[in-house]
Amino acid sequence: MNSYAAVEWTDRRDLQLVERKVEAPSDDEIAIAVESAGICGSDLHFLRGDFSPRPGTTPGHEFAGRVVAVGRHVSNHREGDLVGVEPLVRCGICEFCLTGDYHVCQDRRLVGEGQHGGMSQQVIVPAQIAYPVPRSVDAEGAALAEPLACSVHGFRKIGLQGHETVFIVGAGTIGLTAILAARAVGARVIVLARHPHQQAAASRLGAAEVLSEDEVSKKRIADLVAGNAIDVSVETVGGKAETLWQAQQVLRPKGKLIVLGVFTGGLVPINALHLAIKEIEMVGSMTYNAKDGHVDYEIALEVVGGFLAEVKSLVSHRFDLSSVNDAFRTAADKSTKSLKVHFNPNPI
- Tens digits of per-residue pLDDT, 63-112? 999 999 999 999 999 999 999 999 999 999 999 999 999 999 999 999 99
High-pLDDT (> 70) share of the chain, %: 99
Q: Nearest CA to 5 among 346, 347, 317, 348?
A: 346
The C-alpha angle 147, 87, 9, rounded to 5 degrees, equals 95
Q: What is the pLDDT of residue 49?
A: 85
Assess contact for 258 and 283: CB atoms under 8 A: yes
Q: At what angle do helices 173-185 and 145-158 cross, to 10 degrees?
A: 50
- Integer angstrom CA distances of residue 216 from 149, 154, 219, 221: 33, 30, 5, 9
Q: What is the pLDDT of residue 93?
A: 97
Q: What is the pLDDT of residue 51?
A: 86
State the average pLDDT for the chain.
96
Q: Which residues of the chain have pLDDT under 50?
A: none
* Span 238-258, pLDDT tens digits: 988 789 999 999 999 999 999
Q: What is the pLDDT of residue 348?
A: 57
Taking the model in full, what pTM does it have? 0.95
Phi, psi dihedrals of residue 175, rounded to the nearest 5°: -65, -40
